[in-house]
A and B are shown apart, each in its own frame.
Chain A
Amino acid sequence: MSNRLSSCECFESIYERYSRRIYTYCCKMTARVHVAQELMQDTFVRFAEKCGWMTLQEKELSAYLFKIAHNLCVDYIRKESRFSSLKALLFCPVSPPGIEECVVNDYYSETMERCLNSLTPDQRSIMILHVVEELSHAQIASILNKSEEAVRKQYQRSKSKIRKMLEKEGVVNGEEIRLV
């Protein structure tokens, strides 16, 4: 165990308290179970590396963990996006043969995924933190380094975008959202 980690005695209890929440957040952000697991681990690794010199209040602790998780998720999404873009320009698949078959545990239904994909990474994060984690706009603002007003606006836009998307999809009840 690293020295810095051992100096942070409460790491174990922090992991106990937050690992599930962070994993849930990552899972809902990336829609990939194994990726979420990896990102959750990386969140705590990054946290452990820094917690030696940080003294955090409970409220700040939660915000800090979500901030790290958010950044890791956005990095992941951007990388995905960039590589996918590269692939898209070829008009042919670049991924290794059979790679898609390796993935069996995607999380969302197609409709849900399309809805969330229509949001920018920040919008997606705001939506999840507000709806799932029930954080206030002010708390989210501190996590995302945005103003509270900007977060509120983004949330409203995301709602409107999702409504439009669902209308476009012809969703008339929850069944189509739920089906995986």
Chain B
Amino acid sequence: MVRKSDLFDEFRYYLCEEPVPEIDFEKSREAIYEKLDSRSRTSGTRPSKKRLLLVAAIAACLAAYPVYAVTYSYFRELKGSDENLSVKFQTATDEIKELIEDNAAGDTYINENFHDVLQERYNALGPGQAEKIIVRSPDGYRTGFFTSSLVKENYITRFELFAAVLNDKAGFEHFKPDMELPGGFVFDKGQYIYKGDWYTSEEEMEALMAEAESNGKNYAVKPINYTDQIDCIVMQYKNESDEGATLSVYVENVSNDTYILPEGTTAEEIYHNGDAIITHGLPDENEDTVKKVYYLVKNDLFYRFIFAKDIGNDNAVEIIDAFIGSSIYEDREAETVGNTGAYEEVRENEEAGETETVRNDGASEEIRQNEAAGETETAGNAGAVEEIMEEEAAGNDEATGE
């Protein structure tokens, strides 16, 4: 048996020694000049892409205005101080409603048609182009509409799963959740379970949950994005004093999503310590109980609190206040200090769309988690739908050599 250190040495050796395949550096040099030439020509003679986009956006807005004016009933945007954080809330436009109705057959329709539609749209994309799409939550839950993008790279590659899985404790020390919140909400003692890539680890995650429960513990599952600086956290608290009252907390450091409020619900704004909190009811799976959701942007973090039942705004705000006031992200901030600042690379983060998943495991315990995908619906047909689309792919065009 090889010692542990030897295993890494082997890895290190092949990482260093394996020669990279030869390429023609002369041709690459020519390609660089061509790219530079083409860029300088483009910037000199054509209207800028941003200007074209602006004109297109204005035209789309004008075209969509009649629909928007009729259907508008709620629109609110929460923004962080650094402009990167912008979360929009709105009621469904006619287009969105139509989309929902068109897909009334639900999963069957999606399963039968989605792949073909997406494939068709993907094929229609030129190299380096991207199309906005709407991602819908997979469990027929009407609230989960989020924007995402379908991107075609300008080079041929194998689209294999590249997402890294955080399978050890890396990154975890950046985050310290409160163990207790007011109202009897407690965090499972010492039992932290977290996964990076839920697509590949969903079964594992469920097994871990089952294990935690069989040991008489409340589970706590936190999917964490692949970056080493946590971008997204989901926590699950359980109210010991009331078996049914769970609270899930979703925290994201950068969010650029639009949330379509559930039909028939009315959003309410609460002001607490100068912060706007948006809240609305959320029908349960069985539609016999109503959850309560609270959204808040604070310290450039986007928070979403979902209470399994309505415990009243005052109580909810007290819990939210306690949570926000906790030491979350302290270590993370400490780790990001120390930048040289010598060079500034303007980087735009793009985040995948997110969806919500609701599970009911029969023990009347609800697991709610926010994840980076779900089922997807295409919605590239402009109109009012365009209004909810986020500009998220633009920042990385350069990486594709456009």
Shortest B123–chain A CB gap in Å is 6
A102–B159 Cα distance when bound, in Å, is 12
Interface size on B, residues (CB 8 A): 86
Partner of B161, one of A19, A88, A124, A163: A88
**CB of B164 closer than 8 Å to a CB of A:** yes
Partner of A78, one of B114, B200, B350: B350
Write the chain B residue with the least CB distance to A31.
Answer: B162
**CB of B335 closer than 8 Å to a CB of A:** yes
Shortest B342–chain A CB gap in Å is 7
Contacts of A92 in B (CB 8 A): 115
User: Which of B16-24, B53-61, B79-87, B283-291 touches A?
Assistant: B16-24
Q: Is A86 a contact of B4 with CB atoms below 8 Å? A: no
A77–B329 Cα distance when bound, in Å, is 25
Partner of A83, one of B31, B151, B227: B151
Which of A40, A145, A178 counts the most chain B CB atoms within 10 A?
A: A145
Contacts of B15 in A (CB 8 A): 28, 112, 127-128, 131-132
Q: Chain A interface mostly helix, strand, loop or mixed? A: helix
Contacts of B78 in A (CB 8 A): none
Shortest B249–chain A CB gap in Å is 23
**CB of B376 closer than 8 Å to a CB of A:** yes
Shortest A106–chain B CB gap in Å is 7
Q: Is B170 a contact of A40 with CB atoms below 8 Å? A: no
Contacts of A35 in B (CB 8 A): 155, 157
Q: Is A166 a contact of B7 with CB atoms below 8 Å? A: yes
A52–B335 Cα distance when bound, in Å, is 33
Q: What mask results when residues 1 to 36 of chain B are scored 1 for a CB within 8 Å of chain A, else 0?
A: 110110110111111101011010100110111011
Give me the interface of A with B, judged by CB distance under 8 Å.
1-3, 5, 15, 19-20, 23-24, 27-28, 32-42, 44-46, 48-49, 60, 63-64, 67-68, 71-72, 75-90, 92-96, 99-100, 102-103, 105-109, 112, 115, 117-124, 127-128, 131-132, 141-142, 145-150, 154, 157, 159-164, 166-167, 171-174, 177-178
Jot down 26 A-B pairs with beta carbons below 8 A, ordered by A. A2-B40, A28-B15, A34-B156, A35-B155, A39-B399, A42-B398, A42-B401, A44-B32, A45-B35, A49-B39, A75-B347, A76-B399, A80-B162, A81-B164, A81-B226, A86-B352, A94-B119, A95-B159, A112-B14, A120-B226, A120-B228, A121-B164, A122-B227, A128-B15, A163-B4, A163-B7
Give me the interface of B with A, judged by CB distance under 8 Å.
1-2, 4-5, 7-8, 10-16, 18, 20-21, 23, 25, 28-29, 31-33, 35-37, 39-40, 114-115, 118-119, 122-123, 135, 138, 148-151, 153-168, 170-171, 197, 199-200, 226-228, 335-340, 342-343, 345, 347, 350, 352, 372-376, 396, 398-401
Known pairs A75-B398, A99-B158; list 5 more (Cβ under 8 Å).
A84-B163, A92-B115, A115-B11, A163-B5, A164-B167
Q: Which 9 pairs across A and B sit closest by C-beta, in order of nearness?
A: A147-B338, A75-B399, A88-B199, A89-B373, A81-B163, A2-B40, A80-B162, A166-B7, A145-B339
